[in-house]
Amino acid sequence: MPRRLRLCPAGYPLHVVQRGNNRQVCFTGESDLKAYAHWLRESAQRYKVQIHAWVFMTNHVHLLVTPLENMAVARMMQQVGRHYVRYFNHTYQRSGTLWEGRYHSSLIQADRYLLGCMRYIELNPVRAGMVEDPADYSWSSYRVNGIGARSDLATLHAAYIQLGSSKRERLSNYRELFQSQVSTELMQDIRFSLNKGLVLGSDQFQQEVEELTGIRTKPRKRGRPRA
């Protein structure tokens, strides 16, 4: 079966997940995380990709990004992956692949799902039982979006900026969103869209993306086609 074509048009946010091969560990300590962040920042700047949210877990990475040019995310992920694998193999005297084939991605309808997707990403360490408060996890964008820390990686999305007329108001309103967990329905929708490489959005939005890209955005129905 041929690979599904990437949905990566300029100006549309994209949720990206890159996992270790067979769920193997990709980051063993702070030096590894710093190295990955360094190449991610360089690659994002080179290929004109804005990064709005992220979390680096032990064996996978979540990113919420907006490419400013078509297919910029694919080029960014290829470069950062290549640099990091070379570093990791050299550091730990190993060879071979590190990542689980192609990364997974899902195009996001910003006004409907972007803030929910940010919460889903930044709550990963909480769901994994690593911390009780997302602010306690260093390698997440929550400290930027919820606390106001500075980061060279971060570009605030318009949907986030609309949370308030001042930085203080935006931070307070964003933290308020974390008073409740991401709903089971939203988590299922996010994961299904990621695994299938589909669009997370309304029917109208999916139609808009289909017309823009010429790529089917809805899963095909199961079963044999009618004669």
Condensed to tens digits (0 to 9), the pLDDT of residues 100-122 reads 888 999 999 999 999 999 999 99
What pTM was estimated for this model as a whole? 0.91
Condensed to tens digits (0 to 9), the pLDDT of residues 162-213 reads 999 999 999 999 999 999 889 999 999 999 999 999 999 999 998 988 888 7
- Considering the domain 14-196 in this protein, what is its CATH number? 3.30.70.1290
Condensed to tens digits (0 to 9), the pLDDT of residues 8-30 reads 889 999 999 999 998 899 999 99
Q: Of 92-106, 131-145, 161-175, which gets the smallest average pLDDT?
A: 92-106
Whether the Cβ atoms of residue 121 and residue 49 lie closer than 8 Å to each other: no
Q: How far is CA 174 from the centre of its chain?
A: 18
What's the whole-number average pLDDT of the chain? 91
At residue 160, what is the residue type? Y
**Six-digit token string for 30:** 């702070």
The pLDDT-based confidence of 220 (bands split at 50, 70, 90) is low
- Whether residue 3 is predicted with pLDDT greater than 60 in this model: the reply is no
- Counting residues of the chain whose pLDDT is more than 90, the rounded percentage is 79
- Whether residue 96 is predicted with pLDDT greater than 90 in this model: the reply is no
| Strands (E) located in 59-130 | 60-67, 104-108
Condensed to tens digits (0 to 9), the pLDDT of residues 33-72 reads 999 999 999 999 999 999 999 999 999 999 999 999 999 9
**Residues 6 or more apart from 98 whose CB is under 8 A from it?**
20, 21, 24, 26, 84, 85, 88, 89
Whether the Cβ atoms of residue 174 and residue 146 lie closer than 8 Å to each other: yes
Question: What are the residue boundaries of the structural domains of the chain, listed by start?
Answer: 14-196
